[in-house]
Amino acid sequence: MAEKKLVKVCGMTDGNNIRDVESLGADFIGFIFYPKSPRRVKTLPSYLPSSAKRVGVFVNVPAEEILVQDIRYHFDYIQLHGNESPEFCREVRNYGLKVIKAFSIADRSDIARVKDYSEVCDYFVFDTKTALVGGSGNTFDWSILEDYRENVPFLLSGGLSLQNIGQIKEFSHERLAGYDLNSRFEIEPGIKDISRLKLFIETINEQN
């Protein structure tokens, strides 16, 4: 039997919506602290996940800023979505936090640079390279990931939706751990469509 894939739902802001997403069986729930994101969490939600892992998403901020938010949110993972160095990832890890490092992928050269992070991260996220920082709703050429040979498991991101779930299920890689869902599953920025997420989670784990 194929191993169940993890599902991370990112960019959540509302307590009731978070509770509903967690009840679907989401494994990770992400909170974005990037000021330019329309999904930025501005106030502490009325509910924080108790079974799903809490992920704080940051872009090029000092470690102190991450630690301030960790006091409030009690993160399980920190996702670094900017130009953070391997040394910075190690520093965050040394605070007792697990690290997810996101990489924007456009061509095979983008895969080559992840090697330097293999000893200091727990997961990678491979997202579409755009002028924005994540959340573009666009896919990239997943065949590029054939060049990925590191041991760190990764989440596939960028334009995942019900419309391309067939291609998502067809894509395989020995280090593919799961999927990072965001903009294609929203009613509005920061509020997720529960029915669409439910269908995705049920479908992605069906046996072919």
pTM for the structure as a whole: 0.94
Longest CA–CA span in the chain (Å) reads: 46
Q: Cα-flanking dihedrals φ and ψ of residue 111, to 5°?
A: -75, -35
**Crossing angle for the helix pair 86-94 and 63-73, to the nearest 10 degrees:** 40
Q: What is the pLDDT of residue 76?
A: 98
Q: Which comes out higher in pLDDT, residue 133 or 171?
A: 171
Is pLDDT of 60 > 60? Answer: yes
- DSSP-assigned letter for residue 121: -
Task: Supply the residues annotated as catalytic.
Answer: 10, 127
Q: What is the pLDDT of residue 159?
A: 86
Instruction: Tell me the pLDDT tens digit for each residue of 14-40.
Output: 999 999 999 999 999 999 999 999 999
Spatial CB neighbours of 92, under 8 Å, sequence gap ≥ 6:
63, 66, 78, 80, 99
SS3 letters across 149-164:
CCCCCEEECCCCCCCC
Instruction: Tell me the pLDDT tens digit for each residue of 105-127.
Output: 989 999 999 999 999 999 999 99
How far does the chain reach from its first CA to its final CA, in angstroms? 10
pLDDT band at 136 (very low <50, low <70, confident <90, very high): low
Spatial CB neighbours of 199, under 8 Å, sequence gap ≥ 6:
162
Provide the mean pLDDT of the chain.
Answer: 93
pLDDT band at 93 (very low <50, low <70, confident <90, very high): very high
- 108-145: b or e for each residue (b if 16 or more CB lie within 10 Å)? eebbeebeebeebbbbbbbbbbeeebbbbeebbebebb
Q: Cα-flanking dihedrals φ and ψ of residue 102, to 5°?
A: -95, 140
Burial class (CB in 10 A: 0-12, 13-18, 19+), 16: exposed
pLDDT band at 131 (very low <50, low <70, confident <90, very high): low
pLDDT band at 146 (very low <50, low <70, confident <90, very high): very high
